[in-house]
Structure 1
Amino acid sequence: MSITKWNEEVICFLINRLLRFLGHNSGEIRNDIKKRGIMCRYAMYSYKSHYACFKCKKGFKRRNLKDINRDLVESKVFHCPDCRSIMVNVGLDCEVPSKKDVKKWKVLESLYEIGITYHSCGCSGPGYIPKELDELKAYLEKTKSQYEHNYQSLLKEEIYDQVEIKKRNESLTHWSKKVEEIQNVIDSL
């Protein structure tokens, strides 16, 4: 989760808690939020995260351990009840496909491999996420071109400070790895 999304989630949660403390009930808070066009549904209730097993093509909802014990720093690793392989957290907004829908499972797994999941704070959702293979290819090509643009922009910068040169080289390495990751996924489709 990005720092911005995390901050957004925490702020929504704290506002909700403050309003409850001041005597507003949950129904009033929800209605007020809906009227204003703000939909931060995950700050108001505890929802179960979706976990997926790509080996068995099964999805399960699991309760977040932070909801049980707020002092926990690490999450528990969940294993698939059928094959015992490690399940991955694909987020609260994920619609896990049926076991028979192999194409959608391929899309979900490909997105997960490059770090795209269905995590959001609930205000605006996770954004556009393709559901079909042809949509996925077009999406990945567009994302790859954006990453290549970022890489090329960094190359054009004239930097003379040694610290800034080091930072730029790290950024160039980052963007080249991202381009390579996406190209590998495109080639595997």
Structure 2
Amino acid sequence: MDKQARMKLRRKAGYRDLPKPQVKYQGPEYSMSFACCECKTSNMRQFNLEPCHYPKVIECPVCKGVAVNLGRHFKPPKKSDTAQWKKVEFLIEHGFVFQKIRLIKNSYESVPYPETLAQAKEFVVKYETYAVKTPYNKTIQ
């Protein structure tokens, strides 16, 4: 006798309950990436809010510092890659929180983010009009 037949007999005899139908919970559309440059960690968070009401910063769950919302497109570097974390911190300080930068309106093409700190310095100067003011910017406090 195969397993399905045995389970059917047990259910008929009352020894097994029928499986309950799974209720699918419809959560938020996106998970946002929050990065802390102090401890070099990144965490994904979901919010049951409108995207325009997502928090810009939260408390870092690891070091209790400031974790900045870098959107859903942010790919964190390895914790040991200090050069990349310096680049990320530099971009955040200058208002680039890894949002898509589109030079042509209604286009799908976006500007790629820099790969090194030297490229990031040029990037910040070239695209300064696309910078977002965040509570983390040191120039805005």
TM-score (norm 1): 0.43
Residue 105 (structure 1) aligned with residue 85 (structure 2): yes
Does structure 1 conserve the Cα–Cα contact (< 8 Å) formed by 2:34 and 2:43? yes
Shift of 1:125: 6.9
Shift of 1:117: 1.4
Does structure 2 conserve the Cα–Cα contact (< 8 Å) formed by 1:48 and 1:62? yes
**Which residue does the alignment assign to 1:83?**
63
Does structure 1 conserve the Cα–Cα contact (< 8 Å) formed by 2:35 and 2:69? yes
> Which structure has more helix as a fraction of its residues?
1
Kindly provide the amino acid, as one letter, of the partner of residue 116 in structure 2.
E
Shift of 1:118: 1.6
Kindly provide the amino acid, as one letter, of the partner of residue 64 in structure 1.
F
Residue 49 (structure 1) aligned with residue 40 (structure 2): no
Secondary structure (helix, strand or coil) at the match of 1:91 reads coil
TM-score (norm 2): 0.56
Kindly provide the amino acid, as one letter, of the partner of residue 50 in structure 1.
S
Q: How many residue pairs get matched? A: 98
Kindly provide the amino acid, as one letter, of the partner of residue 91 in structure 2.
L
Shift of 1:139: 2.1
**Which residue does the alignment assign to 2:72?**
92
Report matched runs for 1:12-91 at 5 Å. 46-66=29-49, 70=50, 75=55, 78-91=58-71
User: Which of 130, 135, 138 matches 2:114?
Assistant: 130
Secondary structure (helix, strand or coil) at the match of 1:82 reads coil
Gaps in structure 1 of 5+ consecutive residues: 1-44, 148-180, 185-189
Does structure 1 conserve the Cα–Cα contact (< 8 Å) formed by 2:71 and 2:99? yes
Does structure 2 conserve the Cα–Cα contact (< 8 Å) formed by 1:65 and 1:75? no
Provide closer, same or farther for how the CA distance between residues 78 and 131 of structure 1 changes in structure 2, counting only shifts above 3 A: same
Gaps in structure 2 of 5+ consecutive residues: 1-27, 101-106, 130-136
User: Which of 102, 109, 115 matches 2:95?
Assistant: 115
Shift of 1:131: 1.9
Provide closer, same or farther for how the CA distance between residues 75 and 142 of structure 1 changes in structure 2, counting only shifts above 3 A: closer
Distance in 1 between residues matched to 2:116 and 2:108, nearest whole Å: 22
> Which structure has more strand as a fraction of its residues?
2
Provide closer, same or farther for how the CA distance between residues 142 and 86 of structure 1 changes in structure 2, counting only shifts above 3 A: closer
Distance in 2 between residues matched to 1:74 and 1:141, nearest whole Å: 28
Identity %: 28
